[in-house]
Structure 1
Amino acid sequence: MKVKTGTLNRVRIIGGDWRSRTLNFPNQAGLRPTPDRVRETLFNWLGQTLYGKTCLDLFAGSGALGFEALSRGAKQLVMVEQNRPVLDALKKNSEMLKAQNVEMNHADGVQFISRETRQYDVIFLDPPFRQEYLPKLLPLLPERLTPEGVVYVESEGAIDPGEGWEVWRCSRAGQVHFHLLKRTHA
């Protein structure tokens, strides 16, 4: 499939202070924003507001998850994106929203989390499908979560997160499976 370059796609924020604001992002292969219906379910699971929470959007893409979290009161958002044109669009959207407490990182998600030392209340994990990121990432995440922290995972199929994780919630919308994981405590 040939991808047009230079065209922009749009996704809208569905809740919070920036409800109905539109985010623009470039047309890039493999970039698929989390659909409205999935985000609505996710934020219902998370309790609608994220006041005081710190969030990591590890494969930020369109920014739909991270900006949605800020719109709903998150106090800090760290975004990681490897694709330079996509990162530039994230920066433009951040400026357009006058977003505060946003840190942008041009990096590979696995490399970033491997050297990260901070802890987060919510980690959004929506890596490119069919590239086997989850087996590499899930073992690295427990140390990056606060005691009550959760990890949101989008994938092309149902997942077994392995030892140390509990699938707290899961659902499916079309071809997308989505899960909310918690650490199991010994």
Structure 2
Amino acid sequence: MRICAGEFKGRRLAYPKSGLRPTKDITRQAIFNSLGRNVVGARVCDLFAGGGAVGIEALSRGACEVIFVEKSMVVLQFLRRNVKGLEGAKVIRADVLRFLRKLAGADFDLVLADPPYRHSLVQQTLERVAELDVLGANGRFVIEHHKLELPVCPEGWEIVKQGRYGESWVSILRRYSE
């Protein structure tokens, strides 16, 4: 697995041999092509970060800060190795749904989430991000999910874009702008 574009294009990433489903290159390219220049200078939070491919891709494309949140101690070792030496990267070991409380009102420009498939975490994560006001006024919430776990928008939110990549879907959401 490698970073697709930007300053760290071609950088190799380490992953455990099993137990993790890294976001595919084509999916990451689609996400960041959709976000365009909104990534430059952005404050980003990468939830269920895994090995960090999506968050590192954000740093590579100009994000100024990425907070990586991952619970698994085994996966965390790979994540720390992958972000070593990257300015603006901060790794936190925590349960995502609990940790989001600490981010209430954080005003991130971009929140990325790739929860384990088929664990009912897609809707819970979206609702918690919305309820705790983790995104700034013009922020985007990007969530990768299984085709059978399409998110339902909380009140005041809308899906800006959705795309299918095999069994995976990516939904980009934001609060309504009035």
TM-score using structure 1 length: 0.88
1:73 aligns with 2:62: yes
Partners of 2:51 and 2:82 within 8 A in 1: no
Deviation, 1:88, is 1.2
Equivalent position to 2:40, from 24, 29, 51:
51
Structure 1 residue 180 corresponds to structure 2 residue 172: yes
What is the distance in 1 between the residues matched to 2:153 and 2:143? Answer: 10
Question: Is contact 1:49–1:73 with CA below 8 Å preserved after alignment?
Answer: no
Number of the residue aligned with 1:144: 134
Partner of 1:153: 143
User: How many equivalent residue pairs?
Assistant: 173
Cα pair distance change 1:48/1:26, threshold 3 Å = farther
> 52, 55, 79: which is aligned to 1:90?
79
**1:16 matched to which residue of 2?**
6
The residue type paired with residue 139 of structure 2 is G
Q: Name the larger-Rg structure.
A: 1
Alignment-mate amino acid for residue 128 of structure 2: L
Q: 1:44 to 1:177 in 2, by over 3 A?
A: same
CA deviation map 1:114-146 (0-9, x unaligned): 222322100001100111112322222130001
SS class of match (1:182): strand
What CA distance in whole angstroms lies between the structure 2 residues aligned with 1:38 and 1:134? 17
- Aligned CA RMSD, in angstroms, stands at 1.4
User: Which residue is 2:159 aligned to?
Assistant: 167
Deviations 1:85-117 (A, max 9, x none): 21111111112xx20111111101101102223
Partners in 2 of 1:178 and 1:92 — Cα distance?
A: 26
Q: Which residue of 2 aligns with 1:4?
A: none
1:152-178 Cα distance to aligned partner (Å, 9 max, x none): 011112332232221101110110011
> For residues 136 and 25 of structure 1, what CA distance do their matches in structure 2 show?
26
Give the conservation status (yes or no) of the 8 Å contact 2:162–2:172: yes
Matches of 1:145 and 1:133, distance apart in 2? 18
Q: What SS class does the counterpart of residue 45 from structure 1 fall into?
A: helix
- State the secondary structure of the residue aligned to 1:69: helix
Which position in structure 1 is the counterpart of 2:113? 125
Q: Contact between 1:57 and 1:65, CA under 8 Å: does it hold in 2?
A: yes
Unaligned 5+ segments in structure 1 are 1-10
Matched, 1:108 2:95: yes
- SS in structure 2 at match of 1:66: helix
Which amino acid in the other structure matches residue 129 of structure 1?
Y
Identity, in percent, stands at 34
